Structure 1
């Protein structure tokens, strides 16, 4: 008959170094420095009908400014609308992408409207 040997299930003591270990900064001293930003191909290599993220943000911002300018008084609207329209016409993305596609992007990704007043429905509070 074989004998059963029972050992303790408690973990052994961890080894703790007697000397000070190098700091994380010293350990990572030769690591690659990461740069953050938009990495995109040159404009001539971007396929027709495609938008880069930066271009989409710029077009959406200009369109948002257009919507805001429509709500202004006549004097300020007459100053801002031609500038915004010119910037949209000259933008490389609007020349490369069809107008219907940009309208679809605006329909799905435009910013939410800000409301100064909010209405509380009492049926949810009960």
Structure 2
């Protein structure tokens, strides 16, 4: 989907769907409060043990922006996490290609994100 990558790419075997009312809610089932999950749109992910700023993740992925899974809403553009913001433990973030910054989130993309996130989670 994009050219974003992760230095530590993993695939999980268990699925644990999310829930939500017309929104992404992809990260709601992720409950490891000490870890930060950063996923690319191809399903690879990196687990960060210490809080870092969004800019430090973006520095390794210059053609992408970071999006918080809790701010994903169907039919709206994916809002970027401010570069100076500290990423929160227990949260899932998506690396999204800059080319998709102004495209409203479709139902098929939302479902794709949910499937990739749930397949990567323990």
TM-score by length of 1: 0.26
Structure number having the greater strand percentage: 2
Query: Which structure has greater helix proportion?
Result: 1
Kindly name which structure, 1 or 2, has the bigger radius of gyration based on alpha carbons. Answer: 1
Higher relative contact order (CA 8 A, sep 6+): 2
TM-score (norm 2): 0.26
